[in-house]
Structure 1
Amino acid sequence: MKDAVATEVEAGGLRGRMYVSRAVSGARPESAAGDPAVVLIHGIGVSHRYLARLHQVLARTVETISIDLPGFGSSPRPDRQLTAADHGRFIHDVLDSAGVGPRVLVGHSMGAQFVLEAALQRPDQVPHAVLMGPVVDVRHRTVLRQMLALTKDALLFETPGSNALVFSDYLRCGPGWYFKQLRVMMNYRTEDRIRELGTPVMILRGATDPIATGEWCRILARRAPAGTLAEVPGCGHVVQYTGTAQVAEAISSFAGLPGSGAPEQALRRR
């Protein structure tokens, strides 16, 4: 990732990679020294690579961190299945070790489950959370339905570039680890866990996303004690790649971060 410092990270016997970008020289307006970092968390089978566009836009004005979780990207595969709570603890442990203070957590797809757990574990350290394209829709709670929705999204709503990143990362992940984590993803009840989240949370989706559907995301926003919903028109599931500027604007505005500047009309807020 351009201009990001990559380091190996380890916590609890698990290993991953962290990519850190501090605000680009000359592009960051004056802001409070206590601005939280933005931490981007990928979904099942993938890595930081499909978050790189969003990372680079956010890093113009705020410290931005992407993490490859254990077993994903080039990180070693753990010898046991990891729960969403395990990933949440890993996220906090490696950020603590790196001296990162308050952290706005942004998770995509299954990464939304990891971020939700992390926010529940340490609400004092997470002033805002963003769940992008969260899973698993209550009407799609079978592997077959998930695969059909993924196929529809790839064929109709994604670009060749986003598909190439996602499916090449699936190959790197390999079927063994993918299917271990798929069982975790399918059994996780986002709609129940979000009821316990006092942290302000934004549910963010591409308006044509067939995986995180509009009705599903409205359910989550209503069930969260401090939830809001935003949609990016014309984008599918990998909204951070195809609607990068709008997603960065939504995150910055929601969390009160410096760097807001994308056209407000590019978002639908509810």
Structure 2
Amino acid sequence: MSTGSAGRGTASRALLRLALAAPADAAGLTSQWRHVDGLRTHVRRSVDAPPGTPVLLVHGLAVSHRYLTPLAVALADHHPVYAPDLPGFGLSAHPAEAYDVPRHADHLAALLAAYRLPPVCVFGHSFGAEVAAALAVRHRHAVRALVLAGPTSDPRARSRTGQLRRLLLDLPRESLWQAPVLVRDIADARPWRVWATLSHSVRNRIEDDLTRLTVPTLLLTGARDPIAPPAWRDRAAALVPQVRTVSVPGAAHNVASTAPRQVADAVRALLDDRVLDRLDTLTNR
């Protein structure tokens, strides 16, 4: 084995340990639970939070906070970070039915209220981007800025089979350390919940929320993402009143996991006070 391969293997093992660490403390992250609307909700959050705008990380379909931990660590030096497990996923309690997009958004709004946070930056990845957009529209007072990373679902593949085909294209492009995390997350959620949530996702027209956004927004994708390809990213960006776009070279769909430093830099650039003030002015004209 070459030295480079050994180094990559060591890094992958470290990322896997970090992703699977909860509820134990690791890398400046800790686990907390809040009872929200009668549901025990797990939140992975930064411990020694700096005074910047809090960032809420919203995970995608079939997964949990786990794969977002590299991004949480990358952001935590500059911003308080909160990475909840959506109802039925990860270490959160399992309601009897799978929540749709609006219900997930309302649950997160209640969670933010439970923490008494000021308006936050919401980072939503994949299905989490659908939830994040709905949160920004339904609870505008709670959201300061919005990041939509690899948002689903492209109307050209807006069906369960269409999304699954694109997922199969994406899997070989992702880092191998993510595979055990995905298996753990699906086992936690149960396959029926994953399937039901996918059904909710493809019935949700994210376009309707995109046109109603009133906060500074970043639309971010991996350059090799087959689930949110460039044509869909550009179409989605055209619907947002004021938006910045970023494409991360070499990254596929799970850009937050495989390129956390580049993604964190893009989020910090959006949250620069001068950028927010300028985008606020443009959005509210």
Q: Which of these residues, 133, 139, 160, is aligned with residue 116 of structure 1?
A: 133
Amino acid at match of 1:242: T
Establish whether residue 51 from structure 1 lines up as the match of residue 68 from structure 2.
Answer: yes
Is there any run of 5+ residues in structure 1 with no aligned partner, and where?
A: 258-270
More helix as a share of residues:
2
% identical equivalent positions: 30
Alignment check: 8 A CA contact 2:30 2:47 kept: no
Q: Which of these residues, 60, 81, 98, is aligned with residue 115 of structure 2?
A: 98
Partner deviation per Cα, 1:78-134 (whole Å, 9 max, x = no partner): 123312111111112112111211210001110001111111122222111001110
Establish whether residue 163 from structure 1 lines up as the match of residue 179 from structure 2.
Answer: yes
Give the 3-state SS of the residue equivalent to 2:168 in structure 1. helix
Amino acid at match of 1:39: L
Q: Who is 2:213 aligned against? A: 197
Amino acid at match of 2:45: V
Segment of structure 1 superposing worse, 73-82 or 108-117: 73-82
Q: Who is 1:220 aligned against? A: 236
Q: Which of these residues, 179, 183, 190, is aligned with residue 199 of structure 2?
A: 183
Partner deviation per Cα, 1:225-264 (whole Å, 9 max, x = no partner): 112211100000000111111000001101217xxxxxxx
Q: Who is 1:264 aligned against? A: none
Q: Which of these residues, 148, 166, 176, is aligned with residue 131 of structure 1?
A: 148
Q: Who is 2:6 aligned against? A: none
Q: Who is 1:244 aligned against? A: 260
Alignment check: 8 A CA contact 1:8 1:18 kept: yes
Q: Who is 1:255 aligned against? A: 271
Establish whether residue 18 from structure 1 lines up as the match of residue 34 from structure 2.
Answer: no
Alignment check: 8 A CA contact 1:154 1:163 kept: no
Q: Who is 2:87 aligned against? A: 70
Figure out how many residues of one structure are paired with residues of the other and give that number: 249
**C-alpha distance in 2 between matches for 1:159 and 1:7:** 28
Q: Who is 1:261 aligned against? A: none
Alignment check: 8 A CA contact 1:77 1:177 kept: no
Give the 3-state SS of the residue equivalent to 1:169 in structure 2. helix
Q: Runs ≥4 in structure 1, deviation > 4 angstroms?
A: none
Amino acid at match of 1:213: P
**C-alpha distance in 2 between matches for 1:177 and 1:77:** 10
Amino acid at match of 1:188: N
Establish whether residue 6 from structure 1 lines up as the match of residue 31 from structure 2.
Answer: yes
**C-alpha distance in 1 between matches for 2:44 and 2:116:** 14
Q: Which of these residues, 250, 254, 260, is aligned with residue 234 of structure 1?
A: 250
Question: If the length of structure 1 is used for normalisation, what is the TM-score?
Answer: 0.87
Q: CA RMSD in A?
A: 1.7
Partner deviation per Cα, 1:185-228 (whole Å, 9 max, x = no partner): 11000122211111111111000000011110111111011122
Question: If the length of structure 2 is used for normalisation, what is the TM-score?
Answer: 0.83
**C-alpha distance in 1 between matches for 2:122 and 2:131:** 10
**C-alpha distance in 2 between matches for 1:219 and 1:135:** 12
